[in-house]
Structure 1
């Protein structure tokens, strides 16, 4: 059975990062790896190269889940901050909602492109195009390559993913500032969080411009789905 051979392991040695660095590093959980014990003849189809690609998708999902989990604690952290007035709390909650919207868009996009569209295409290929072992290898390779491409993990999408990870970094910084054991004065705290939010808006705006240009050129058509989700109500203009 799959669960008997699929495990999560930690790389050795573990990354030696200080706590503040760990809290802000988008890839802080990349030391976790999926390991699947593939025996013959399945190892002819699921190769080591395929497993490396699966791990790249796994790391992206970890980054998304971490950002989502972090935002769940932000609401209560804002409410617990002493010295902030009602208007400041409300503004910070609006910032949190914007962060949550972005993460939700990413989760919806990945779910649709990976778990629905790519998987459905693989099922169709298995039912109609696979008549030999070579066909099976080709269909599986095409599936994982499409997953990498649609998850924006290919070399051509590296610039887009870098911008997205900067957004994740803003979310982590926002949460880390709130949860710090040595909070600054309420006014300084509010200004610091506002600066982080401005950085988020600037980065999200840049992401919008890049994606719009790519969509207009007809490059990476799956980005049209991402664009529609992110800017459904023209929030980013």
Structure 2
């Protein structure tokens, strides 16, 4: 799981007078953000491996002449789950990249140019920048419920990779000798799909209760994720009502 990445930290030795601004607390927050972004990247990488496996498996099945409709239907259901989780994670990455590297950074640059008069001002605007970064990554105290859901989805990406018995040494002879259930744990895939859909609903509930006017945070991320209203329409159709 992701616990193995908890010790993968970003460190930096800061000398005086820079340590007046980049304090030990600021470094701790940077390390927390770095660890989280690595976890997101690792989850995306895991799903990329799964995509390669499914692509190769589909090609081998097609060449082996065993592409029966029932087999293709099962593979399509697995691919759909993979696409759903991958879409969530890639959207999360896009949200982080846009808001950390662009919006928050430009705000920090603007503050340095127009608000700073002395060292205390530099310390303050830098603290605001780091605080914004924590909020964008859902690592602030206010966004802990969102972080819990996202952590669950990151874990699901790793578990999804484990649904496949062998991601290496896949050959046409392997496909001919083994049935599909020996290569893919379909029951685990279904369990991940159920948990993922539940997490999306939980995220929607949090979004419906949060401010729609905040510049950064869940409202903006949900706008990225739900740009065509797919999730909100599906959820409200399933439950038959809106959450407030």
Task: Give the TM interval when normalised to the shorter protein.
Answer: 0.7 to 0.9
Pair member with larger Rg: 2
After TM superposition, the score normalised by the length of structure 1 is 0.81
In the alignment, which residue of structure 2 is the partner of 1:143?
Answer: 129
| Structural mapping, 1:63-102, within 5 Å | 63-78=39-54, 79-80=56-57, 85-102=71-88
Unaligned runs of at least 5 residues, structure 1: 1-24
| Structural mapping, 1:180-219, within 5 Å | 186=181, 189-216=185-212
| Structural mapping, 1:18-37, within 5 Å | 25-37=1-13
1:175 matches 2:172: no
In the alignment, which residue of structure 1 is the partner of 2:173?
Answer: none
**Aligned mates of 2:195, 2:80 — CA distance in 1:** 15
- CA-to-partner distance for each residue in 1:150-171, whole Å, 9 max, x for gaps? 2210111111100111111111
After TM superposition, the score normalised by the length of structure 2 is 0.79
Greater percentage in strand: 1
**Aligned mates of 1:99, 1:229 — CA distance in 2:** 15
- Aligned 8 A contact 1:214 1:220 in 2: no
In the alignment, which residue of structure 2 is the partner of 1:132?
Answer: 118
1:156 matches 2:142: yes
In the alignment, which residue of structure 2 is the partner of 1:5?
Answer: none
In the alignment, which residue of structure 2 is the partner of 1:15?
Answer: none
Q: 1:173 to 1:229 in 2, by over 3 A?
A: same
In the alignment, which residue of structure 2 is the partner of 1:235?
Answer: 230
Corresponding residue SS for 1:71: helix
**Aligned mates of 2:6, 2:166 — CA distance in 1:** 24
Unaligned runs of at least 5 residues, structure 2: 168-177, 234-244
Q: 1:184 to 1:154 in 2, by over 3 A?
A: farther
Q: 1:179 to 1:155 in 2, by over 3 A?
A: farther
